Amino acid sequence: MKKENTDSDVKVSLKEVNPCEWRADMTLPPNEVDAKLDAAAATLKDTVSIPGFRPGKAPLALLAKRFKADIASQVIRDLHALALAEIQKECPLNLVTLPMPENSPLPPQRGNEYSLTLFFETAPKFDLPDYKKLELPKLDTNDVDDEIESEIAKYRETYAEFKPLDDAKAMHGDMLKISFTSDVTVPEGAPESCAKLVAAQGAWCWLNDPEMLPGVIKCLEGAGKGEKRTLDVTFPDDFVEPALVGLSGKYEIEVIEIRRRMPVEDDGELCKKLGVEDMDALKKYLESSVRAKLQSKNRSKAIAAMFGALRKKVGALSLPPSLLAQTAQGEFSAIANEIVLTKEDVDGFQKDIETHRNEAEKRAVSRLSDFFIASAIAELESISVEQNDLDERIRVLSSFYGRKEKELRKQLEESGRMEEMHMDMMLEKVAEKLLELNGFREDGEKDNNEGTKKQDKEV
């Protein structure tokens, strides 16, 4: 495809070298090169000072010689702008990257023709299927009363307390009061906390990680109140008290008391802890929350099903390579944040890093496919993400994270997350439109009056 600029002899031709990858070749004849060099030099007249000349009176030839590099850079920027304008007019698809040269362009020379080659990527080309008669999945219609009881059970567990048990056998998670002695000698100069790990009366020991003493959980599990156990200990290299590392000894331990975490069974006690009048008031409070969670779950399920159906109908898309790589990197970081919660998680993550990269690539393909399908629907349905939408989202985020709006905006822009946020908001708006067009109802039913005739349209 070739197009000649009607205002000059500038020629710009476009070629799709690979799916979503384009090349733009721009050629300027010598007279155009000279004109643009003179124009760039003229813009410097009022902004630079040259000894011996009043402001704005220096000859263009002198300016062109003294500020040759600056003028050449300005001409190249002007050509980039001209090329972008021509590309946006002539390219049949939406640009997803700005046109850029493969290498640093050579400076234009007076009296010579100048050529500039730029590369850019576009949205994929595909036929948009009917999106107004999608089949909604069977949604959850869980009994609200059952869900409320489940939430109450969680509260009972949340406010559980350790209570003494006389006839129980110790088990993992119990809190034990113990007395113990050992033949371990505390090194001179060691902190007082080390002495308390060598011998103690009435010390509390939680049978959970990290262990109070190496091997103490296995030693005391199954022990009853008043029972004595013997434990051989060698303090490992990563023990919490460095002064004890490497030392060994025999411990004699007696169980004085066993306490176990017990859920709150008494309704009155639970209501008191929660600050509600009675169980009826608690259930009424939980009902709206339970219904909201169920509705949110059903909406998410319906949205995932609709986009999944559209991806299947559209088929595998050829996606812009650089945008795909950028999105995959973002998904990889998200996976890392999901998995690596402590230092101990790092080795396991590194071990399966290729698996995580493949998963990130898979997520990126789905996300970009959804976005381009959503963008096509948005164009037909006149849906857009405006600046005020972005501003409002930033205000909400800054309030949530306790950050200043200006600082958060700057961070989003510098990290490239602003484009990601724009993508998220576009997907959200189109998802809401799809729910409306396909007759989604909060009760899980489908409004059969919604929807229109199936009609494929090329994007």
Give the model's pLDDT for residue 3. Answer: 41
Query: Where residue 388 falls among pLDDT bands split at 50, 70, 90?
Result: very high
DSSP code of residue 242 = G
CA 23 to chain centre: 32
| Closest CA relative to residue 223, chosen from 205, 210, 250 | 205
Q: Does domain 2-122 have CATH number 1.10.3720.10?
A: no
Residues of the chain above pLDDT 90, percent: 63
CATH code that applies to domain 274-458: 1.10.3120
| Closest CA relative to residue 378, chosen from 420, 423, 421, 418 | 423
DSSP code of residue 136 = P
With 80 as the cut, is the pLDDT of residue 317 above it?
yes
**Per-residue pLDDT reduced to its tens digit, 59-88:** 777 877 788 888 888 888 888 888 888 888
198, with CB counted inside 10 A (0-12, 13-18, 19+), is: buried
Run of H or E including 417? helix 417-437
Structural class in CATH, domain 161-262: alpha beta
What pTM was estimated for this model as a whole? 0.69
Instruction: Give the three-state DSSP class for 365.
Output: helix
Look-up: residue for tokens 């949340």? Answer: 158
**Per-residue pLDDT reduced to its tens digit, 120-162:** 999 999 999 999 999 988 877 767 888 899 999 999 999 999 9
Angle (CA) 109-112-115 rounded to 5° is 85
Neighbours of 221 (CB within 10 A): 14
Give the model's pLDDT for residue 343. Answer: 86
417, 401 contact by CB (below 8 A): no
Q: Would you list the domain boundaries of the chain? A: 2-122, 161-262, 274-458
With 90 as the cut, is the pLDDT of residue 12 above it?
no
Look-up: residue for tokens 């071990």? Answer: 351
Q: Beta strand pairing status for 175-182 and 248-262? A: antiparallel
| Closest CA relative to residue 321, chosen from 128, 127, 120 | 120
